[in-house]
Chain A
Amino acid sequence: MRNTLKRLLALVPVTALVVGGAVLLDADSAEAFGYNRAVSRACGQNWVNSSGSAMSGSAKTSHYSGSCQDILWAGLNVKGIGISWRKGPGVRDIAQAYAESLADTTGRHKGCESCAVTLS
């Protein structure tokens, strides 16, 4: 229930921008952790989430709604390792990457192997 409420509240500013009909200038920067939201595909939605700072941060990609059955990817730019992706065998759950000492504060997400990358 708590997570569901959190996700509903996070959708409010995005919905307001759409309803307003104005040019979609997102209130949150896509270049820093925290631009969390639902990302739509034809088969449903995934939730992209990032949090933390350059000292330690996390990127998560999780199933949100719909019938999509694809591997979820979560990526970070980690000092000393580089660009790193994490993905798992499940298709309707979650992939999370966490690291300490990051080269940037942008989470990267994919909802399937050939999907475009989403930033958070």
Chain B
Amino acid sequence: MRRHAVLSALVAIVVIGVGGACARPAPTGEPIRVIEQLEIAELERRAREHGWTEQADVLAKGYVTRADYEQAIDHVRACAEDGGNGISEPTLSPIDNLTLEFGFPVGAMDDEVIWDLSDRCLQRWHSLVETGYQVSHEAVMDADILAASLTCMADAGFPMVGEIRNARDMAARVSPEDGEVLSDCIVEAAMQVRPDLPMVGVAW
């Protein structure tokens, strides 16, 4: 009986020890990782590899200006119009105050035709330049959305401390596996403080 009790105690200690080793440490709120982004030189290389010369020439400067970015959008507009379509008026995202968001209206055309057109035009004229613009400048989330996002994350068990200005700063404070918690919080926060927004895009 006594040996049984000792064995039971030893098993319990092992189980508790293993369970403790598997338990995730409570988040400190400080950065725990670096968010990977592509270098502009790599973006240029990819543009040239695909034969997207105009994008490559912009990226070759090593820095993408707002004028470069707007020019890329103008190219997309021309591409869409050549395809019998167009784009909606670009609006500045309050999530990063960098990205100019727009859509390809469907109208009387078949949805799948417009999906294909959007994909082709964005690849050819815009995608890598936009990325280059986003890595050339610091994203700054609108203060009210940022505050609501931080509250949401704290409520979800992810309090955050330190200098935080954008989604990337917040993402650096959670593991990749918890990225969806963060993106959902940012979307929820944006819709809560800006209920008039028709769409929210989040990425880092």
Contacts and interface: CB of A to CB of B under 8 A. Distances in A.
B14 interface: no
B111 A117 contact: no
Contacts of A86: 101, 201-203
Contact of B106 (A1, A97, A101, A103): A103
A113 B51 CA distance: 13
- B88, B171, B178, B180: which has the most chain A beta carbons within 10 Å? B180
A60 interface: yes
A40 to B, nearest CB: 18
Interface string A48-72: 0100000000101011000001011
A84 interface: yes
B86 to A, nearest CB: 9
10 contacts: A71-B38, A78-B103, A83-B103, A88-B202, A89-B37, A90-B168, A96-B187, A99-B200, A101-B198, A113-B128
Contacts of B101: 84, 86
- A58, A103, A113, A114: which has the most chain B beta carbons within 10 Å? A113
B118 interface: yes
8 nearest CB pairs, A to B:
A88-B203, A86-B201, A81-B103, A82-B103, A82-B105, A95-B203, A89-B134, A84-B103
A91 B38 contact: yes
A5 to B, nearest CB: 10
A97 B199 contact: yes
Does more than half of chain B's interface fall in helix, strand or loop, or is it mixed?
Answer: helix
A81 B199 contact: yes
Interface string B169-184: 0010000111111011
Given A90-B37, A91-B38, A93-B204, A84 B177 contact: no
B177 A104 contact: no
Contacts of A74: 201, 203
- A60, A80, A96: which has the most chain B beta carbons within 10 Å? A96
B104 interface: yes
B155 interface: no
A108 B114 CA distance: 13
A113 B187 contact: no
A38 interface: no
A72 B35 CA distance: 14
A84 B102 CA distance: 7
Nearest to A92: B36
B73 to A, nearest CB: 13
A60 B200 CA distance: 12
B100 to A, nearest CB: 12
A94 B203 contact: yes
A85 B199 CA distance: 10
B115 A94 contact: no
Interface string B27-42: 0000000011110000
A3 to B, nearest CB: 5
